[in-house]
Amino acid sequence: MMDETSQAESRYKVRRPQRADARRNFDALIEAARQAFADDGADASLEGIARKAGVNIATLYRNFPTRGHLFEAVYLDEVEALAKMADELQGRDPWDALETWLTRFVSYATTKKAVYDAIAHNAEMFTTCRDVIHAAGRPLLERAQAAGVARSDVSFDDVLFLVNGVSGTNFVVEAQRERVLTMALDGIRGPGR
């Protein structure tokens, strides 16, 4: 029997089409929308997203009847990717795993910023996604702390606040964001690194 959290998690999953060609179109739309929302914000052109994905606008609307459906799918896809990446990083060097995941988290946070207001009505979805992110990232921090390569006096929430600050800033060039993120990550490093 599924507990309440598991039921909520299963309710908030990206539901991809079964047919391979339809799934390719769906995934292309998600990727194009992710980039468009990060670059242009929540008002990005749906026609431009369809064009960038290599499909017509009817295909976009068949998969995502409203802009809100597309926002939710992009957001959920980002959360799923973060959780999957955390699993894949478990066998790597503890600091490298944490640093790689947090760098990817900054990309997620940029997308979240673009779509948050548009889908903020769904508090349960955000709570569930927050739980998924914590379940994915917290063990990476704890493993790095146990190895002495991350500071022992920081919590996972502290780390998320720090990298959210980096992702929420409007940098002139992407290289500047990367430099600032590197400085932030240096603040998390433990004495063993």
Residue 150: φ, ψ to 5°: -130, 145
Q: Confidence class of residue 191 from pLDDT cuts 50, 70 and 90?
A: confident
pLDDT score at 129? 84
Over the chain, what is the mean pLDDT? 85
Residues 111 and 28 grouped into a single domain: no
> Using one digit for the tens of pLDDT, what is the confidence trace for 4-19?
444 444 555 667 777 8
C-alpha angle with apex 75: 16 to 59, nearest 5 degrees?
45
Q: Which domain holds residue 38?
A: 16-65
Assess if residue 3 is contained within a domain.
Answer: no
Residues 35 and 107 grouped into a single domain: no
Tell me how crowded residue 25 is: count the other CB atoms within 10 A of its CB: 21
Assess if residue 168 is contained within a domain.
Answer: yes
Which region among 1-10, 51-60, 75-84 has the lowest average model confidence (pLDDT)?
Answer: 1-10
What is the pLDDT averaged over residues 104-117? 74
Token pair for 152: 């022992």
In the predicted structure, residue 42 carries a pLDDT above the cut 70? yes
Report which DSSP code applies to 171: -
pLDDT score at 5? 42
Residue with tokens 């064009």: 51
Assess if residue 166 is contained within a domain.
Answer: yes
- Count of domains forming the chain: 2
Assess if residue 10 is contained within a domain.
Answer: no
What is the pLDDT averaged over residues 101-113? 80
Q: Confidence class of residue 140 from pLDDT cuts 50, 70 and 90?
A: very high
CA neighbours within 13 Å on the CB side: how many for 63?
Answer: 31
27 or 166, higher pLDDT = 27
In the predicted structure, residue 70 carries a pLDDT above the cut 80? yes
Residues 25 and 99 grouped into a single domain: no
In angstroms, the CA 96 to CA 116 distance is 29
CATH number for the domain harbouring residue 44 = 1.10.10.60
Residues 33 and 61 grouped into a single domain: yes
Residues 40 and 113 grouped into a single domain: no
The highest-confidence range among 138-142, 172-176, 177-181, by mean pLDDT, is 138-142
Residues 27 and 87 grouped into a single domain: no
Assess if residue 192 is contained within a domain.
Answer: yes
In the predicted structure, residue 122 carries a pLDDT above the cut 80? no
Residues 116 and 182 grouped into a single domain: yes
Q: Tell whether the torsion through CA atoms of 178, 163, 134 and 81 is positive or negative.
A: negative
Name which of 4, 9, 3 is nearest 132 in CA terms: 9
In the predicted structure, residue 102 carries a pLDDT above the cut 60? yes
pLDDT score at 16? 72
Residues 43 and 134 grouped into a single domain: no
Which of 31, 46, 65 is the endpoint of a domain?
A: 65
Residues 104 and 158 grouped into a single domain: yes
Which of 41, 65, 89 is the endpoint of a domain?
A: 65
Token pair for 161: 């606040």
- Nearby residues of 101 by Cβ (< 8 Å), 6 or more positions away: 82, 85, 86, 89, 136, 137, 140
CATH number for the domain harbouring residue 159 = 1.10.357.10
